[in-house]
Chains A and B, each alone.
Chain A
Amino acid sequence: QVRLVQSGAEVKKPGASVTVSCKGSEYTFTSYDINWVRQATGQRLEWMGWMNPNSGDTVYAQKFQGRVTMTRDTSISMAYMELRSLKSEDTAVYYCVRASRSEIRRRWFDPWGQGTLVTVSS
């Protein structure tokens, strides 16, 4: 069964950085893009960007450019999302999710990781 398992909850101070990890299993990790999506309390799902685990190429949402970096370690089927200069508004549940292998305009997201709560508080 294809699965994405994320790292545990984090508490950070404003201005700090956080790295969330996401381990893929039961599929060829390098064959599917990994996306990161977040949801602040009471807010909508917000797409942050995607990464091609084979090439390392990334596309980031404009809102997060300059503050987010998505990387991977293919030897252990792990994807990482680092968000820097944290603000209280970054308090959210962060999800990794696998994209389908179809052309981008046909793309869909499945499965999703279980989510990682990142709390930013002084």
Chain B
Amino acid sequence: QSVLTQPPSVSAAPGQKVTISCSGSSSNIGNNYVSWYQHLPGTAPKLLIYENNKRPSGIPDRFSASKSGTSATLDITGLQTGDEADYYCGTCLSAGWVFGGGTKLTVL
């Protein structure tokens, strides 16, 4: 069980928008930056968002994120079947690092 809480699953139709939440506390998200990772089956995780809302080069602007207080959200618009994956938030702790429990995105 992670200290960062994500919904186990979300789903939406192609072309639609989905939001994935990541809830923490003042000891993690509240005082640190959040990053997001996409994990496709059988591949290595990939960085999607860093420092709460910044996209690395090559990540389409369909992916956006924000942070407010002790929670963060990842938005994916214009859903594509290739977006089906597990999504993880992550942030620093005083004694290291933690990932959220992960959210499985299904594109119906």
Contact = CB atoms under 8 A, between A and B. Distances in A.
B100 interface: yes
16 contacts: A44-B102, A46-B99, A47-B90, A47-B96, A62-B95, A97-B45, A105-B32, A106-B32, A108-B35, A109-B47, A109-B90, A110-B47, A110-B50, A112-B44, A113-B44, A115-B44
B2 A44 contact: yes
Contacts of B32: 105-106
B46 A112 contact: yes
Interface residues of B, number: 25
B97 A35 contact: yes
A114 B44 contact: yes
B92 A105 contact: yes
A59 B35 contact: no
Contacts of B100: 44
Contacts of B90: 45, 47, 108-109
A114 B56 CA distance: 19
A37 B46 CA distance: 13
Contacts of A109: 35, 37, 45, 47, 90
